[in-house]
Amino acid sequence: MTPPTETFAFQADLSQLMSLIINTFYSNRDVFLREIISNASDALDKIRYMSLTDPSQLETDSKLEIHIVPHKEEGYLSIIDTGIGMTKSDMVNALGTIAKSGTKAFMEALQQGADISMIGQFGVGFYSAYLVADKVQVFSKNNDDEEYVWES
């Protein structure tokens, strides 16, 4: 049985979002892959750290891996990790809020001469996927919650 679908609107300041896309990402479309892999690596680091004090965190899957799977015929790319995963609340808060404080801090740093490569330090790297994709899906399962799918 498929769980019921819930719809959440992005929480965003549209002018901040457009400024972010036009002034930073647009000329650096390939940054998305680095950012998504970096997020996957962070998820592995988090579950590895948690498993030091709670070995049960790795009972579901003890292999800490990132897989990059191209689906050329279908025209999409899967990036799969065995990291910590997100709860429903994590997904709504982390993926559903654009142009929050991290984005603002990133834009301010750029205006002061920071390099675009610093993007991952501000928690906005995930949104770079929208430069190369019409649709983004995130499947996530945290040990403390059910599996959820974020699609936009």
Find all residues with CB under 8 Å of 19, minimum gap 6, and list them.
107
Give the pTM: 0.73
- Contact assessment for residue 138 and residue 85, using Cβ atoms and an 8 Å cutoff: no
pLDDT by position in tens, the chain (length 152): 666 777 776 665 655 665 665 555 556 677 788 888 988 998 999 999 999 999 999 988 889 999 999 999 999 999 999 999 999 988 887 777 665 545 566 667 767 876 655 555 545 667 778 778 888 899 999 999 999 998 88
CA distance between the termini of the chain: 22
Distance, C-alpha 59 to centroid of its chain: 24
3-state secondary structure the chain: CCCCCCCCCCECCHHHHHHHHHHHHCCCCCHHHHHHHHHHHHHHHHHHHHHHHCHHHHCCCCCCCEEEEEECCCCEEEEEECCCCCCHHHHHHHHCECCCHHHHHHHHHHHCCCCHHHHHHHCCHHHHHHHCCCCCEEEEECCCCCEEEEEC
Q: What six digits make up the tokens of 112?
A: 């002061």
